[in-house]
Amino acid sequence: MVEFSLWDILRNLLMAARWTVSLSLIAFIGGGLVGLLLLVLRLSRVRGTGRLIGAYVQVFQGTPLLMQLFLAYFGIALFGIKTSPWTAAAVALTLYTSAYLTEIWRGCVASIPKGQWEAAQSLALNFGEQLRHVVLPQALRIAVPPTVGFLVQVIKGTALASVIGFVELTKAGSMISNATYQPFLVYACVALLYFVLCFPVSLVAQSLERKLHGNRS
């Protein structure tokens, strides 16, 4: 019976954690770009975009991420494109992130007092100028804490990619736990590694939130 040391376990988990980190970053950045596009579309008040994007958000916020991953995995395959778990996970998580981020950002823009819009209008600024010079700079400031906070959700979300076969931290944990017959230790290590990834980000988000409200009060 091969003896596995704690270090063996951790070493293997850390290698898999690289994939967790890269998937998280891809989803966060990709989702951020798509979310920004959706936000601008929504704000441009083109007929119907508001309702459409609202429905998009409702679907992603009202269904399990696990289902979204399954649908991406089997759905892309329907079109004859060979999908790897990595691709399906990246696509699903990017879209998931884009829906949540665009909704967070929409809320930030909506929280800018109407008086700011009216003052800008009264100074003869057109819609684009109102947005770019008066509303978005203020909304950006408010948006930073919840956006950083959502990164934590993305990192946790990558764990579900294990279910469609992508070998990231959680899947590695399952595999190592089966190989070592030490599920308690292995899953404790997995949890610890996620904690090490997420907790600093949570702290940063909390401190940004405090700074923001400290400035305003």
Partner 1 sequence: MLIALDFSAVLSSWPLLVRGLAWTIGLTAVGTVLGLLLGTACAWARARNLGPRALPLRWAVAAYVELVRNTPFIVQLFFLFFGLPALGLKLSPEVASVLAMVINLGAYSAEIIRAGVEATPRGQIEAAQSLALTPGQTFRRVVLPPALLKVWPAMVGQIIIVMLGSAVCGQISTPELSYAANLISSNTFRAFEAFILATLAYLALSMLTRRLLIWVGVRFLVGR
Partner 2 sequence: MATAVDTTPAPAHDGIVVGAPPIVDITALRKSYGSNEVLKGIDLKVQKGEVVAIIGKSGSGKSTLLRCVNGLEVFQEGALSVNGKKLMHDSPTAMRELRQQVGMIFQGFNLFPHLSVGRNIMLAPTLVKSRDAATAAAQARKLLDRVGLAEKFDAMPDQLSGGQQQRVAIARALAMEPQVLLCDEITSALDPELVGEVLRVVESLALEGMTLMMVTHEMAFARKVSDRVIFMHQGRVHETGTPAELFGHPRTPELRQFLSSLHD
Using CB under 8 A, list all residues that contact partner 1: 58-59, 62-68, 70-71, 74-75, 78-80, 152, 156-157, 159-160, 162-163, 170, 173-174, 177, 182-188, 190-191, 194-195, 198-199, 202
Return left, alpha or beta for 2; rule: phi > 0 is left, psi -120 to 50 is alpha, else beta: beta
Chosen residue from 54, 129, 183, 198 binding partner 2 by CB under 8 A:
129
CB of 200 to partner 1, least distance (A): 9
The answer to whether residues 95 and 35 touch, using CB atoms and an 8 Å cutoff, is no
For residue 3, count CB atoms less than 10 angstroms from its CB and return exposed for 0-12, middle for 13-18, buried for 19 or more: exposed
Return the range that interacts with partner 2 (CB under 8 A); candidates 21-29, 55-63, 132-140, 189-197.
132-140
DSSP string, 156-208: HHGGGGGGGT--SHHHHHHHHHHHHT-HHHHHHHHHHHHHHHHHHHHHHHHHH
Is residue 167 a contact residue for partner 2 (CB under 8 A)? no
Binding mask 96-115 for partner 2 (x = CB under 8 A): -----------------x-x
Residue 207 near partner 2 by CB under 8 A: no
If we measure between CA atoms, which residue out of 159, 194, 33, 35 comes closest to residue 89? 159
- Which residues here bind partner 2, judged by CB under 8 A? 113, 115-116, 118-127, 129, 133-134, 137-138, 141
